[in-house]
Amino acid sequence: MATLAPSQTAQPALKPAAPLIALEGVTKTFDLLPVLRNLTLHIGRGDFWALLGANGSGKSTLLRLIAGLGQAEGGTIRVGGWQLPREAARVRAQLGLVSHKLLLYENLTARENLRFFSRLYNLRGGAAEARIEALLARVGLARRADDPVRTFSRGMAQRLSIARALLHNPAILLLDEPYSGLDQAAAALLDALLGEAHAEGRTILMVTHEIERAARLPSHVAILARGAIAFVCPREAIPDAAWLAARYAEVTS
């Protein structure tokens, strides 16, 4: 299995803030309907959080706010000590986002997509090409690198989307349902990629419905219910997935 060069680890460019991601009393409404209500969440540097919650509970909205793609009506959001969205420009180079949507261009090939994003992140020359090739190999798409993304299965496109998010070596990874549409082999590959990313010191926030994975992979689990964080637990305190599923049912019922 291909691995990335050891020098390509997370960039230490954010303020030495603790916590790295801090949301205080965040409120967000859509069409007068409150989605997030006075939400507070602190994520430390190098932590790997799974965020569980029912459909429509505001998980994706929360992720978009942390990515600087939206504005909360109340509260403060700080990433790496910088306040969003006012100072979002300072943290963008440190964020990698995998969304519901693939954030890829279907008419471009896998390699062209990564080249495009390498230009946006000002990666240049041989180093950029080497990074692209390494990532394509790492997500198992080296042989399909010159095929248009429109010919890819959902799982292949999702793997490319993950390569895109890792391309600029971000310190923070925001993942919105990254396992959706992946077959078992691709999901196992993503498990390994996330494990590596976490081991390299990246901070990860993953929105997911997969309770079994949430009980196994991350360092912390949170459950979002009725617009606020209703449950937080470190992995060590989770005996098994069934226990977490029971807590999830309690909190979201």
CB of 215 to other proteins, least distance (A): 29
CB of 64 to other proteins, least distance (A): 8
Instruction: Tell whether residue 121 is a contact of other proteins (CB under 8 A).
Output: yes
Sequence-ordered list of residues with C-beta below 8 angstroms from that of 7, at least 6 positions apart, any chain: none
* Interacting span for other proteins (CB under 8 A) from 2-10, 100-108, 125-133, 137-145: 100-108
CB of 135 to other proteins, least distance (A): 15
Size of the site for other proteins (CB under 8 A): 30
The helix/strand/coil state of 165 is helix
> What span, in angstroms and rounded, lies between the C-alpha atoms of 91 and 94?
5
Instruction: Tell whether residue 15 is a contact of other proteins (CB under 8 A).
Output: no
CB of 107 to other proteins, least distance (A): 4
The C-alpha R_g of the chain, in whole angstroms, comes to 18
Here the tokens at position 112 are 């062209």
Here the tokens at position 37 are 């209500």
* Interacting span for other proteins (CB under 8 A) from 26-34, 38-46, 110-118, 223-231: 110-118
> What span, in angstroms and rounded, lies between the C-alpha atoms of 174 and 90?
17
> What span, in angstroms and rounded, lies between the C-alpha atoms of 77 and 61?
13
CB of 74 to other proteins, least distance (A): 18
Instruction: Tell whether residue 112 is a contact of other proteins (CB under 8 A).
Output: yes
Neighbours of 230 (CB within 10 A): 18
CB of 75 to other proteins, least distance (A): 18
> What span, in angstroms and rounded, lies between the C-alpha atoms of 168 and 9?
10
Q: Which has the closest alpha carbon to 241: 206, 217, 205?
A: 217
Q: Which of residues 59-98 bind other proteins (CB under 8 A)?
A: 67-69, 71, 85, 89, 92-93, 95, 97
Q: Which is nearer to other proteins, 2 or 13 (CB)?
A: 13
Here the tokens at position 76 are 């403060």
> What span, in angstroms and rounded, lies between the C-alpha atoms of 165 and 139?
12
Q: Which is nearer to other proteins, 112 or 196 (CB)?
A: 112
Instruction: Tell whether residue 164 is a contact of other proteins (CB under 8 A).
Output: yes
Considering only residues 40, 56, 73, 119, which one is a binding residue for other proteins as defined by CB under 8 A?
Answer: 119
Considering only residues 5, 13, 185, 232, which one is a binding residue for other proteins as defined by CB under 8 A?
Answer: 13
CB of 67 to other proteins, least distance (A): 5
Neighbours of 67 (CB within 10 A): 22
* DSSP H helical ranges for 40-174: 59-66, 110-120, 125-138, 154-166
Residues that bind other proteins (CB under 8 A): 13, 67-69, 71, 85, 89, 92-93, 95, 97, 99-108, 112, 116-117, 119-122, 148, 164
